Structure 1
Amino acid sequence: MSRAINHLLIGVLITMTTGLNPATAGENDRKLTIVNPANLYDPTPNGYSTAVITPANARIAYISGQGGQDATGSLSPDFADQVRQAYANLGSALEGIGARPDQVAKLTVFVVDHDMSKLEVLTASVIEMFGENLPAQTLVPVPKLAIDPMLFEVEAMVVLD
């Protein structure tokens, strides 16, 4: 059997077994699927989802940790200001790669000296940016970040297509 026919047959088998047809793939085939199982605690009021499934054959981009520095590199000493600026910076990074917030599958946030009083600020910022399309998220309490005045950092995994 020729190599071209082998590749054609393999492509047909992949299409049949996965149900994917690139010629008819629509916008919904490229969306993230958010999963919050009913038998688990509902995390959405806290600004995240239990799991997010990425579409088959998606390209993934990883955005490095964004801190609360403004365009001049200055950091406010206020935690809430740093969080708001970090999410604004994340939004700029998304724009820079041609992505939208609803394409973010996973966030990891790092909080210096975390305590429960900081959750309200964190939750409000995530809901403001992502609305109902809440990504999976992990919060990691840390004693310090890259530079001493940093109090918060957020990194993202983004599905491009």
Structure 2
Amino acid sequence: MSHSIINPQGLHNPVGFGYSHVARASGELVFIAGQYASDGDGHVTSSDFTEQVERSLANLRTALAAAGLDYRHVVQLRTHIVDHDTDKLAIIARLIGEIWGDRPPTQTLTGVAALALPGMLFEIDAIAVSP
């Protein structure tokens, strides 16, 4: 199975962290690495959970666009939340609803003790299908 790797200009360079942002497999499946509230240098942009989710979703949009896709092409999400609780679930559900409405992709949510970098509270990765 052939694949290509894409690290879009609008996101930080992830290679030093040991991953790439986007992998396109067999021309149809596109895998988006965990996106978090990062700026162009990979630094966490906010300590606020809602702002981190919003920025992570914006970064996901940037990664999808680099593969010629958008949110409607996403078939699966995996979300990782530090100190998960129902208040955070409500925030995620609202923001997912604003993007996907009544047809959200499949999703697995995992509560975790910590994520890769200090200050990260939320991370989201995705699988999309290219038409």
Runs in 1 of length 4+ with deviation above 6 angstroms?
A: none
Is 1:98 paired with 2:68?
yes
Is residue 59 of structure 1 aligned with residue 18 of structure 2?
Answer: no
* C-alpha RMSD over aligned residues: 1.6
Partners of 1:97 and 1:65 lie apart in 2 by 15
Q: Does 1:80 align with 2:58?
A: no
Q: Following the alignment from structure 1 to structure 2, what is the Cα–Cα distance between the partners of residues 80 and 58?
A: 34
Instruction: Give the counterpart letter for 2:34 in structure 1.
Output: G
**For structure 1, which segment, 92-101 or 69-78, has the greater mean C-alpha deviation from structure 2 after superposition?**
69-78
Count of aligned residue pairs for this structure pair: 105
Counterpart of 2:61, as a letter, is: G
What is the letter of the counterpart of residue 67 of structure 2? I
- Structure-2 separation of matches of 1:89 and 1:106: 16
Identity in percent: 36
Gaps of 5+ in 2: 1-25
- Quote the Cα distance in structure 2 between the aligned partners of 1:133 and 1:90: 18
Deviation at 1:69, TM superposition (A): 1.4
Larger relative helix fraction: 1
Q: TM-score, normalised by structure 1?
A: 0.61
* TM-score of the pair, normalised by structure 2: 0.75
